[in-house]
Amino acid sequence: MYYSSYGIKTLPALRRTTPDYTSSIKVNNLRMSHMALSRDGKMLAFDMTGATPSSNFIDDLYTLNLENGKIQRLTTDLRAKDPSWSPDGTAIAFVRNSPPNYSLAILNVTDGTVRDLINSNESRQAFAPSWSPIDQRIAYARFESRAEGVRLYIFNVDNGTEQRLNSDLGRAGAGAGVVAEFDPVWSPDGRYIYYTADYTGVYNIYAHDTTSGAVFQVTNVLTGAYAPDVSSDGQVLAYTGFTADGYDQFVMPLDPHKFRLVSDSSPAAAAQEPVDQQQETQQVAQQVAAQESGFFTAEFAPLADEAQPYSAWSTLCPMFAGPSGYYFPSGAYRIGLSVMGMDVLDAANYSLTAFWSDGGPGYAANVNLRTKHFDLGLFSNLDYAVDDGWVSEKRVLQNGVTISDSGKGLFSPRDSWLIGLGGSHRVAWSLSESSGTASTSWTQNFGLNYGIVQAGSGPVDLRRGWQLAYGFDSVYTPANHQFDYLQNVKFSAYVPLYDAIAFSLTGAVKQSNAALAGYDFAVPGAGTPHGNWLWKGSAALEAPLMVVERGFMVFPLYWHGLNLYSALNIGQVLEPTDAFRSVIDAGLVLRLQISALPIDIYGVASYSLTPSSEPWGFSVWFRL
């Protein structure tokens, strides 16, 4: 059995199990999304995301010769995925993406020609084709509508006809909803179609008998069973399951006599059967009736083990560790080591960083807990505040707590709302004063966000969506009974361009009763101004200059590349003493990505729109 594995702790790899399925060996370091083994077991077809000359990221089809390890590219810039071999190995059925639609097509492996079978539209999208091993039928999943969900169909390549499966089945229970049926795969004799469905609200593997129309439940797990596949002799079923350790591969013996009957053939389906198949259908029905009574029912057998409440502590282990730091031309620096971890459901996560800087040693510790109604965060930091000259001037110890709700019902009514509260105790020591007198303050913050921003994947952060945010922060200093506040409104919009270029546009307005607004850019000839009012806008564009997605056997890089990030910023600060200060600056960031470790090289050039003795400014710094 071949399967693809990847995770936070492991590099992507194609693996092959031993005949007894108890262990596996690595074949290569490619990250394959969907795979299909040829009937003779010599070729593996798969889809993989690659970078085009125009820096777009597009899925294409490839084959891997399992005898000599050679890889051949079958398509170029076709947006092809989900391959499945024909019985004779001369063609591959696949899904073709013509944005925004997913259609069913066939690729001739010999000459590379493509034949479209089904042209999709907004209400008909094709996924996961599986070619019958004995004839020209292709089973596939098709999105019908929001009301119907995703259902299984059979397309006959010879005559172009279609047949919907399981039309009488729907979601069971009081909370019934739309049904999802996907990942079909044929048994070697072409009789059964195994697939994943959520008829009960939990994804399990089911079998559709193409001779009778009967549907059987094959697995009965509580945490989900997906992506079934059958051995060449039809004796073993493999599937992906979810446990406390994450997603893993499972195998089980296949015995149709132990399947649980879910649905008999409907009258409408029986009327469409050819006459020469009706006799066989009756014989199958008689065999089903002769099985042990009480087992083949729609009822579920009682669980042998009593369900226990989920506990995050058993899997709360470190998931990632790596260096971090920065260096400024002024001499300020930091080098540290960070460790992060979480449980398999991300109900709890934590991070711990220890570092050494030009000001001395420090640390940052964070723990976040997700409950049914809110998220709770605890943090403790010993850090160093950097002055206008980018030199550490204060040692700061801060301990605090945060609580937030993202549509969970405690504060906010919908997923598009986010409300957060926080508070902390802060003690600061001046590094320049020998007396080491400490100043104490209490901080609180409130945030309200509306809108949804969806994060993408890949070497470029292809976020999309928009968000409007309001924040109110305050600081109380007991020594002089001083109360300062800062409030701000920010709008952000993110648009992915050409699948590989990220564009963002942001605008913000800040107001404070003291010099808290701060300016995010270096103002040439004037230091960093602090005013009561601030407005600013920023437009940024990010794109990869070079991407290599293939790994290396000796030095395991699963992808590396060079990204370019550029931003144009303009803003204005209204100060108590000056009429205003304004600046325009352009920033350039080069990011060298090695495995999961980014190295950023920043370069910022700025020009003051306010008359200044030094209108131009330029700076370069590094961050790991």
- Reported as a single tens digit per residue, the pLDDT across 303-339 is 444 556 777 777 787 877 888 888 877 778 889 999 9
Residue boundaries of the structural domains of the chain: 1-26, 316-450, 486-624
* Both structure tokens of 609: 């729109």
Kindly give, in sequence order, each residue whose CB lies less than 8 Å from that of residue 135, ignoring residues fewer than 6 positions away. 87, 190
Residue 79's identity, in one-letter code, is R
What is the number of H-type helices and E-type strands within the chain? 2, 40
48: nearest Cα among 14, 19, 85:
14
Q: Which helix (H) or strand (E) holds 279?
A: helix 275-289
Low-confidence ranges of the chain (pLDDT < 50): 54-55, 173-175, 266-278, 281, 284-305, 409-413, 457-459, 517-527, 547-560, 578-579
- Residue 217, Cβ density class (10 Å: 0-12 exposed, 13-18 middle, ≥19 buried): buried
- Reported as a single tens digit per residue, the pLDDT across 276-302 is 444 554 554 444 444 433 333 333 444
Residue 100: strand pairing partners: none
CA angle, corner 14, sides to 101 and 181, nearest 5?
A: 40
Helix ranges, 469-575 (H): none
Residue the block writes with tokens 């999208």: 125
* Both structure tokens of 263: 């649905």
- In the prediction, which pLDDT does 553 show? 32
Q: How many CB atoms lie within 10 A of CB 317?
A: 10
- In the prediction, which pLDDT does 218 show? 93
Omega cis (within 30) before 100:
yes
Please give the backbone phi and psi of residue 344, each rounded to the nearest 5 degrees, phi first. -65, -25
* CA–CA dist 369, 374 (Å, integer): 9
Is residue 64 within 8 Å of 71, Cβ to Cβ? yes
Kindly give, in sequence order, each residue whose CB lies less than 8 Å from that of residue 25, ignoring residues fewer than 6 positions away. 15, 16, 18
Task: Collapse the DSSP code of 288 into the 3-class scheme (helix H, G, I; strand E, B; otherwise coil) and give the result.
Answer: helix
Q: How many CB atoms lie within 10 A of CB 113?
A: 10
396: nearest Cα among 366, 436, 426:
426
- In the prediction, which pLDDT does 569 show? 66
Strands (E), 500-580: 501-512, 533-548, 560-574
* CA–CA dist 546, 557 (Å, integer): 14
Phi-psi region of 27 (alpha: psi -120 to 50; beta: other; left: phi over 0): alpha
Could you give the C-alpha distances from 265 to 268, 512, 527, in angstroms and in order?
8, 71, 79
Q: Are strands 179-186 and 149-156 parallel, antiparallel or unpaired?
A: parallel
Please give the backbone phi and psi of residue 282, each rounded to the nearest 5 degrees, phi first. -65, -40
Residue 475: strand pairing partners: 443, 484
Residue 50: strand pairing partners: 58
- N residues, the chain: 624
342: nearest Cα among 318, 371, 372, 326:
318
* CA–CA dist 318, 351 (Å, integer): 9
Kindly give, in sequence order, each residue whose CB lies less than 8 Å from that of residue 450, ignoring residues fewer than 6 positions away. 416, 417, 418, 467, 468, 469
- Reported as a single tens digit per residue, the pLDDT across 546-565 is 544 443 333 333 334 556 66
Distant-in-sequence contacts of 121-126, Cβ < 8 A, 24+ apart? 125/101, 126/95, 126/102
* Both structure tokens of 543: 């794109």
Residue the block writes with tokens 């034949």: 115
Please give the backbone phi and psi of residue 271, each rounded to the nearest 5 degrees, phi first. -70, -25
Kindly give, in sequence order, each residue whose CB lies less than 8 Å from that of residue 187, ignoring residues fewer than 6 positions away. 193, 194, 230, 234
Q: Which helix (H) or strand (E) holds 597?
A: strand 597-608
* Both structure tokens of 225: 């069973």
Is residue 126 within 8 Å of 102, Cβ to Cβ? yes
Is residue 392 within 8 Å of 358, Cβ to Cβ? yes
DSSP one-letter code for 257: G
Residue the block writes with tokens 């942001």: 506
Cα of 302 vs its chain's centroid, Å? 35
Is residue 329 within 8 Å of 619, Cβ to Cβ? yes
DSSP one-letter code for 176: -
* CA–CA dist 388, 356 (Å, integer): 21
* Both structure tokens of 24: 């596996």
* Both structure tokens of 199: 């008829």
- In the prediction, which pLDDT does 284 show? 47
621: nearest Cα among 330, 386, 327:
327
Q: What is the DSSP string of 53-122?
A: TTS-EEEEEEEEETTT--EEE--SS--EEEEEE-TTSSEEEEEEEETTEEEEEEEETTT--EEEEE--BT
Is residue 373 within 8 Å of 410, Cβ to Cβ? yes
Phi-psi region of 350 (alpha: psi -120 to 50; beta: other; left: phi over 0): beta
* CA–CA dist 85, 46 (Å, integer): 11
- In the prediction, which pLDDT does 565 show? 63
Please give the backbone phi and psi of residue 277, each rounded to the nearest 5 degrees, phi first. -100, -10
